[in-house]
Chain A
Amino acid sequence: MDAAPDAPSSLPIPTAENDLQPFFVLHKASPPRKSAAKARRRIDLSPKTCDSSTEQNDDSLRLETFNSLWSKTESIIKDVLKNLNANVFDEIDKWVHVSFNAIRACRKLDCFSATSPYPILNSASIAAAGASRQIFTGLLFTKNMEFVDDTLTFADLGVHLRSNGCYVANLTSLDFSAKSGVGGCLKTLLRQFLMVGIDAPDMSILASWYTEQENYESPLVVIIDDVERCCASVLADFIIMLREWVVKIPLVLILGVATDVDALRNILCSNVCSYLSVREFALGTPAERMDAVIESVLLRSESFSIGKQVSTFLRNCFLRHDGTLTLFIRALKIAMVQHTYGETLSFTLTKIVDEEGSKGFDGENILLRDIVLKRALNLPSLQRFCQPSARLVDWASGLSELKRLRTLWSSTVMCLYEAGKYQKISLLDLYCELLEHDQRYSGASDHTQLAKDKIVSSHNNHFHGCLQKEGYVIRAFQIVRDLTAVKLCKLLNRWELLTRGIKEIHEKVKELQALMKSEENRPKRDLKEASKKPTARNLINEKTAKTTANEKVATFLQCMVRQYIQPIESIPYNEIIFFNNVDKLQTALIGDPRRRIQADLLESHKFVRCSCCSKNSGVPIPSMHDTSIMYSLAQEHGDLINLHEWFHSFKSIVSLPPLQAKRRARASPSPKKRKNSNEPQNRNDAKIQAAFCRAVTELQITGLLRMPSKRRPDYVQRVAFGL
C-alpha cells in the first residue's frame, strides 16, 4: 500500500498493441526519486507526526478513505457509461431479432436440414441467389480512433444480447491472426458457443450444435471487437465461410469499427463486402461520454474534485494526446490516491460525504479530532481568510459552507451547460473555464469589454491555452439571449429540474418560468389581433417581448455566475476537496520514459549521490557507470556515431592515468573513490571492450541506439529524440 503513492506512473508501453487493457506499470522508481518523494511526503505529513499510533491509524484511515471514494466513483462511472450505451444496445437488439426473422423468412429452418454438408436448394435460392445469401452485419462505430475505451463496451453488448436470448460469441482481432488462420477464430467461436474445446473446428459442428439446442428459435450473434486490427485475409475467409452456412445457421455479425465505413472497404475486397448487408450503429462520441462522466463524478457527487490546473491539464491530455476516457479515469484515480496521501485532512472526505463532518467524530477518539483541528489550522486557505481559531464549530460550519458553495457552483455550471448544449459547448470546456476564472464575470453584463479583458487575461495567465477568445460562458449567455421562446421554456424546465433542492436558485427559476408563461400567452393574443389588423407593431412587440424574456433569463444567468462562481481558492477548507497538484499527477500519468532515461543517463550523479561525480557534473569520469559515460560521450557525435572513435574515447576515459586519478582521489577522499582510482591499472583491454559492448547493448535495449546496418557496419545511429 505504501508503494502506491510513490510510483503509480502509468504508461501503457508503446509496443503493447495487442492488449488494450489499460494497466499500471508499477516500475520500481529509481532511488533518487523515491527518496525525494518520501522526503516530500514526510514533509507534508510532518505536522501530524506526534506519535506512531496516530500515524498508523492515520494511514489506515487514508487507505479506507481512498478505497471508499474510489469504489464509489468507479461504480458511478460504470453506471453512467452503461446508461449512455443503453439505447444503442436496445436498437441493436431489435435489429438482431428483425434480421433473424428475415433469415427465417427466406427459408423455413427446420431443425434437421441445417446440418447437411451441401448448400440448401430451393427455388428461392436459385432465383435470388445473392439476396438470400447475404450476412446481416451491424457496424458499430466507436467514434474514437483509440480503442481502449470500448473494450468493455463490447463485453457489455454481449451480456445485453445474451440477456435478450441470443447466443453470443465475442471475438477480438487476436483471434483473426494470420498465424492461426481461419481455424483459430472458428476455434474461439465454437469454444464460446459450445463451451467445449475442439481441436478440429468446423462450421458443421456449430450447425449440429445449433440444431441440438431445444430452443433453436434464437439467433446467433458474433461480435468482433475491432475490425481494423484483424488480419484481412483471415477475416475474408471467415466471412466467406459464414456465407456458405448463412441460410442454415441464422447468424448475425456485429463488427466494431473504430474509424469509418471505408476502413471495412479497405480491409475486405469488394467481393466479400458484397456478402454483407450492412446496418450502421454508433456509440456516443468520447466527448459526450467525457461530459457525462464529469457531470456525474465531479459535479453531482460532492466528495472529491479536481482543481483548475489539474482539470486544464486533463483537458489538454484528452484533446491533444490520447482522447481516451480511460486515461481520464486513470488520472482521476491517481489524483485521488495522491490526494488522499498527500493532503493531510483528506480522510475527512468520506465524513463530508456522509453528512456533517463534525458529527462524524463522535464515535472516534478525541485525539483524532484535535489532530484534525490542528491540521485544519495550517490549511493555507484557512490562514488566508478567517483568523485561526481551533474551534469545532468553525470547522463544522466551514465544511457545511464549503458544501453549500460547492453545490451552488456546480448547479450553476450545469445550468450554463444546459444553455450551452444548444451550440454543442462541451461540459469539459465550460468546467475548465469556470474553474479558471476569477472575479472577471462580476459586473460583466455586456460581453464585449468582457471579451476584451478576457483576451488580456488569456495572454497574461499562461497555463490555459485552452480558452477561446470569447469564453464559453459568454457564448452561453449569447445563446440564451437569442433562443426562441419555446427553447427557452425547455431550458427553464431543465433548470427547474436541475436546481431542485437548491432554494436560492430554484425560486428564481420558478419566477422566470411563470414569467415565460405570461410571455407565451401574450404573443398568442398578439397573433389574434394580428389577424384583425396586420401591422408591424405586433411583430415589434413580439420581438420586444421575446428579447425582454431572453434578457431576463440571461441576466439571471449572469448574476448566478457572478454570485456563485467564485474561485475555489477563496473558499476555506477547499484543499480538503480539491486536488490541484498538476506536476505530481503529470509525472505519475505520463512518465515520459524515453526522456527520463536520457536525462538520468546524462546526470546520473544527481541520484548516485557519490561524492566523486557530483562536483564535476557533465564531464564523464571513470567512476561513473559505463552506460552513462557512453551516452554522455555519444552527445558529442551527430546522429551517426563511429564505433571506433567512440570506443577509443570510452577507453581513454575509463582508463585514466593513475596520477590524474590520484589527484582526484586526493581531491575527494572517499573509500569508494579510492577503490576505483586504482582500478584502471588492472583493467585490461578485453575488460574494457566487454564493458563497451555491454553498454552499447544496454543503450540499444533502452531504444536510444540502433545497431550498425549492413551498409555502414562501423556506425551506430542514435534514435534518441526529444530532450
Chain B
Amino acid sequence: MGRLNPAEQAKIILRSRISSPSFVFSFFSQSPDSNYSKLKYIISSSVTEACNNSVLLLGPRGCGKVAVLEIVLEELLKEHPDMISVIRLNGLLHCDNNCALKEIARQLCLEHHLMFSKMASYDDNSQFLLSMLRECGLAHKTIVFVLDEFDLFTQGKQRLLYSLLDAMQSITSQAVVVGVSCRLDADQLLEKRVRSRFSHRKLLFLPPSREDCQRLVEHILLLPTDSSLPNDYTAAFNAKLLNILADEKFKGIIDTLCYSDSSVGHLLRFLFSAICHMDMNSGFLSVKNFKSALRSMQRQPKLEALKDCSVLELYILVCMKRLEVKELELCNFNSIMKEYKSIHDTFQTSDYYARNVCLRAFEHLLERALISFEDNKGHGQSAEFRPVKLVISWHELHQGLKSHRSCPAILHKLMDREG
C-alpha cells in the first residue's frame, strides 16, 4: 500500500463508510424491535416454513429501506446457502409488464444457470416464471421478489403484481414479495383483485430520532482502531471528534439540519461534505467543518439566482411584482414593458434599454426559472404575448434585492412602496 498520509487514509475510510449503506445501517440492526429484525423474521420464516409471504416497506427516501433489506437478505443468504434466490426489480426500469417479466426470467436464468433467450415472448416468460416457481417450491427454494419503487408497479393494469401474487396462492410455490416504496399509501394503490391477494404486512421506516442521529454520527465517524492507520492518530482523531460531538454548537448544527430534513440520507450527505471540508494539514475534523458543511447543505436557489441577476433583470422582476400587486388578471412581456416604461417616465432611471434587450433579459429570467409561463400551450403566439408569472415571493424578491451587489436604490424604493 502506498504511503498516504493518515489524514487522507482516514478520509478515504470515512467516505467509503458513508457511501456503503450496509455499514451505515448495520447500526440499526442491533436493537431487537427494529424493522431489521421484523423483516428478517418474516423472510426467514417463509424460508424455513416454506410458505408464501408478502410485505411492504414504506417510508420516506433515505431511511434505509433497501439497505436494511439488503442486509437481511445477505445474512439469510449466508444462513441458508442456495435456498434463496433473489429477484430484484425496480419500478423505474421495469414498470411495464413485458420488460419486467423479461427481467425476472433473465435473473432466474442467471441464478439457475439456464439459457436466457431475449426473443422469449411475454407468455413464454410468464409460463417460465410459473414453472420456475413450482420447481423451486418443490425443491424448497424460496424466491424473493424485491420490487423497488413499488408504487410505480401499481400504475396501469398491475398485471405483473397480479400474476406474481396469484402464482403465490398455490401451495406448491414458495416465494416472498417485498415491495419498497416511499409512498406511504402504496397499498391503497393496489386494485381489489391484487389487494385481496396481498398480505397487508407493512413495515414503516421512519427517520431516526435525535439521539439515534447523534449515535449514528459517532458510529460513522469514529475511526476503527483496527485499521492500517497509526494508532496515535486514530486515538487523537476520535478524542477530538468525541468532544466535538459533545459540543453544544455541534448539537445545534445537527438540530438545524434535522429541522429541515432528518432522514439518514440527508445526514449522510451532511457528514460527507463535512469530511470534504476537513483540512489535510491538521488532519482532524473541527466544528468549523460542520458549519461550512451545513451551509453548503442549506441552499436557497432562488436567492442565489436573484444574486446573479443583472440590473435590468431586476428591473423586470420589480415590474412584474408591481403588476402582481395591481392585480391585473394576467401579465405578459408587453404589459411588463409598459410598466417598465412608466417607471422610467416617472423616475427618469439611468438604465432604460431597447425592447429587444429587455426581451433577452426576460428570456434570461425564464432560463433562471425566476419567472415561468402560465401555460405550456399557446406556442402559436410569440413569447411576448404568452402570460407569465413570478415564481418567487415578495419576501424573497425583497431579500434578494437587499443582498444584491449593485441593485439601484430606486428599486428598493419601489419595493418598499409595494410592501
Interface residues on A, range: under 10
Say if the beta carbon of A266 comes within 8 Å of chain B: yes
A271 touches B360 (CB 8 A): yes
Number of interface residues of B (CB under 8 A): 8
**CB interface residues, A 249-287, toward B, < 8 Å:** 266, 269-271, 274
Say if the beta carbon of B346 comes within 8 Å of chain A: no
B382 touches A266 (CB 8 A): yes
A267 (CB) vs chain B CBs: closest residue: B382
A271 touches B367 (CB 8 A): yes
Say if the beta carbon of B87 comes within 8 Å of chain A: no
A270 touches B367 (CB 8 A): no
Q: Given A232, A233, A269, which contacts B363 in the complex, CB threshold below 8 Å?
A: A269
B359 touches A270 (CB 8 A): yes
CB contacts (< 8 Å) of A274 on chain B: these are 360
Q: How far is the CB of B203 from chain A (nearest CB, A)?
A: 44
CB contacts (< 8 Å) of A233 on chain B: these are 379
Total A-B pairs, Cβ < 8 A: 13
Residues 321-364 of chain B: 1 if any A CB is under 8 Å from the residue's CB, otherwise 0? Answer: 00000000000000000000000000000000000100110010
Residues 357-385 of chain B: 1 if any A CB is under 8 Å from the residue's CB, otherwise 0? Answer: 00110010001000000000001001100
Q: How far is the CB of A269 from chain B (nearest CB, A)?
A: 6
Q: How far is the CB of A503 from chain B (nearest CB, A)?
A: 63
CB contacts (< 8 Å) of B360 on chain A: these are 270-271, 274
B361 (CB) vs chain A CBs: closest residue: A270
A269 to B382, CA, bound (A): 9
**CB interface residues, A 77-104, toward B, < 8 Å:** none
Q: How far is the CB of B312 from chain A (nearest CB, A)?
A: 13
CB contacts (< 8 Å) of A269 on chain B: these are 363, 383
A233 (CB) vs chain B CBs: closest residue: B379
B382 touches A270 (CB 8 A): no
CB contacts (< 8 Å) of B367 on chain A: these are 271
A270 to B363, CA, bound (A): 8
CB contacts (< 8 Å) of B383 on chain A: these are 269
A701 to B257, CA, bound (A): 69
A232 to B379, CA, bound (A): 9
A271 touches B363 (CB 8 A): yes
A570 to B121, CA, bound (A): 86
- Most chain B C-beta atoms within 10 Å of own C-beta, residue among A232, A233, A266, A270: A270
A269 to B384, CA, bound (A): 11
Main secondary structure of the interface of A (DSSP, over half): helix
CB contacts (< 8 Å) of A271 on chain B: these are 360, 363, 367
CB contacts (< 8 Å) of A266 on chain B: these are 382
Q: How far is the CB of A647 from chain B (nearest CB, A)?
A: 38
A78 to B378, CA, bound (A): 44
Q: How far is the CB of B316 from chain A (nearest CB, A)?
A: 14
A207 to B379, CA, bound (A): 33
CB contacts (< 8 Å) of B382 on chain A: these are 266
CB contacts (< 8 Å) of B356 on chain A: these are 270
A129 to B130, CA, bound (A): 61
Q: How far is the CB of A487 from chain B (nearest CB, A)?
A: 43
A270 to B359, CA, bound (A): 8
B364 (CB) vs chain A CBs: closest residue: A271
CB contacts (< 8 Å) of B379 on chain A: these are 232-233
B356 (CB) vs chain A CBs: closest residue: A270
A352 to B198, CA, bound (A): 97
B362 (CB) vs chain A CBs: closest residue: A270
Q: How far is the CB of A253 from chain B (nearest CB, A)?
A: 21
A274 to B382, CA, bound (A): 18
Residues 220-252 of chain A: 1 if any B CB is under 8 Å from the residue's CB, otherwise 0? Answer: 000000000000110000000000000000000
CB contacts (< 8 Å) of B363 on chain A: these are 269-271
Q: How far is the CB of A592 from chain B (nearest CB, A)?
A: 31
A232 to B383, CA, bound (A): 12
A271 to B364, CA, bound (A): 8
A50 to B379, CA, bound (A): 69
A271 to B361, CA, bound (A): 10
B359 (CB) vs chain A CBs: closest residue: A270
A269 to B363, CA, bound (A): 8
A178 (CB) vs chain B CBs: closest residue: B379
A609 to B360, CA, bound (A): 69
**CB interface residues, A 271-309, toward B, < 8 Å:** 271, 274
Q: How far is the CB of B362 from chain A (nearest CB, A)?
A: 9
CB contacts (< 8 Å) of A232 on chain B: these are 379
A21 to B382, CA, bound (A): 30
A269 to B360, CA, bound (A): 8
A324 to B65, CA, bound (A): 71
B383 (CB) vs chain A CBs: closest residue: A269
CB contacts (< 8 Å) of A270 on chain B: these are 356, 359-360, 363
A674 to B383, CA, bound (A): 68
Q: How far is the CB of A313 from chain B (nearest CB, A)?
A: 38
Q: How far is the CB of A92 from chain B (nearest CB, A)?
A: 27
Q: How far is the CB of A560 from chain B (nearest CB, A)?
A: 55
**CB interface residues, B 35-73, toward A, < 8 Å:** none
Q: How far is the CB of B335 from chain A (nearest CB, A)?
A: 19
A266 to B367, CA, bound (A): 18
A269 to B365, CA, bound (A): 13
A233 to B367, CA, bound (A): 15
A232 (CB) vs chain B CBs: closest residue: B379
A266 to B356, CA, bound (A): 11
Q: How far is the CB of B143 from chain A (nearest CB, A)?
A: 37
**CB interface residues, B 359-413, toward A, < 8 Å:** 359-360, 363, 367, 379, 382-383
CB contacts (< 8 Å) of B359 on chain A: these are 270
Q: How far is the CB of B308 from chain A (nearest CB, A)?
A: 16
Q: How far is the CB of B74 from chain A (nearest CB, A)?
A: 38
A274 to B367, CA, bound (A): 15
**CB interface residues, A 359-409, toward B, < 8 Å:** none
A233 to B383, CA, bound (A): 12
B357 (CB) vs chain A CBs: closest residue: A270
A270 to B382, CA, bound (A): 12
Smallest CB-CB A-B distances: 4 pairs: A270-B360, A269-B363, A271-B363, A270-B363
A and B contact pairs by CB, cutoff 8 A, 13 listed: A232-B379, A233-B379, A266-B382, A269-B363, A269-B383, A270-B356, A270-B359, A270-B360, A270-B363, A271-B360, A271-B363, A271-B367, A274-B360
Query: Apart from A232-B379, A233-B379, A270-B359, what 10 extra A-B contacts exist at CB < 8 Å?
Result: A266-B382, A269-B363, A269-B383, A270-B356, A270-B360, A270-B363, A271-B360, A271-B363, A271-B367, A274-B360
Report which A residues bind B (CB closer than 8 A): 232-233, 266, 269-271, 274
